[in-house]
């Protein structure tokens, strides 16, 4: 267990809402589409995945992933799907859970290991945020306006965020933002999974041989 600045014991694992979002605040299209998400080679997804050992998601997010026909797989992560309609138990690549998400996540945060990825969706985010369990909000803001879709957060009580880090990806126009939830004893980490090159230094101009300044004579 870690100790917060005020001396209180804090949970050792952070719950981090880490998602891509359109510029107008949607995490998916009206039918769950996510083909609008822009890719950028500067994002090291391997490094990102290594920051977590568990992922939690809602049933709708799982359904969208499963609808592609491919195996739902989050490499190296214990993937948990919260559902009140699907039968509890293991499925290919995930584990279905019917229990209260807040109780499950509360117990997960007490364990040791890496952080917990709140993979989606917005309703699960609202539930866990209202329960005081979300530590960070980390957004990859895409240069896209969807006009409609699934919001990053359904209506509810306001929550204050504190900016911890930001990265701007010039090639794609993506802006990465990492916020800590105000009051959380576990601040957001720095964005280390994005490789942003340093701007090239300008070389001093060489004076042309034909343009030599003459000293003024009195």
Please say if the pLDDT value at position 3 is more than 60.
Answer: no
pTM for the full predicted model: 0.83
Residue 110 has pLDDT above 60, yes or no: yes
Task: Say what the pLDDT of residue 201 is.
Answer: 53
Q: Is residue 138 pLDDT above 50, yes or no?
A: yes
Look at residue 20 in the predicted model and tell me its pLDDT.
Answer: 96
DSSP-derived secondary structure letter, 43? B
- The answer to whether residue 188 scores a pLDDT higher than 80 is yes
CATH, domain range 37-169:
3.40.430.10
Residue range 30-59: mean pLDDT, rounded: 94
Pairwise pLDDT comparison (40 vs 121), residue with the higher score: 40
Could you give the percent of the chain with pLDDT greater than 90?
71
């Amino acid at each position: 267990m870690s100790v917060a600045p005020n001396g209180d014991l804090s949970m050792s694992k952070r719950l981090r809402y880490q998602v891509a979002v359109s510029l107008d605040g949607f995490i998916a299209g009206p039918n769950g589409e996510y083909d609008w998400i822009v890719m950028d080679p500067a994002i090291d997804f391997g490094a990102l995945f290594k920051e977590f050992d568990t992922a939690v998601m809602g049933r709708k997010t799982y359904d969208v992933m499963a609808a592609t026909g491919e195996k739902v797989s989050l490499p190296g992560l214990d993937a948990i799907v919260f559902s009140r309609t699907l039968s509890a138990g293991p499925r290919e690549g995930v584990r279905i859970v019917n229990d209260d998400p807040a109780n499950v996540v509360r117990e997960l945060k007490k364990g040791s290991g890496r952080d917990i990825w709140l993979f989606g969706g917005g309703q699960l985010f609202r539930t866990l945020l209202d329960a005081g369990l979300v530590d960070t909000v980390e957004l990859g803001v895409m240069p896209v306006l969807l006009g409609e879709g699934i919001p990053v957060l359904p209506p509810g009580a306001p929550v204050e965020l504190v900016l911890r880090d930001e990265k701007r990806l010039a090639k794609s126009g993506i802006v990465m933002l990492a916020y800590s939830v105000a009051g959380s004893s576990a601040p957001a980490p720095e964005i280390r999974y994005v490789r942003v090159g340093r701007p090239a230094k300008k070389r001093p101009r060489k004076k042309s041989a034909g343009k030599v300044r003459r000293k003024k004579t009195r």
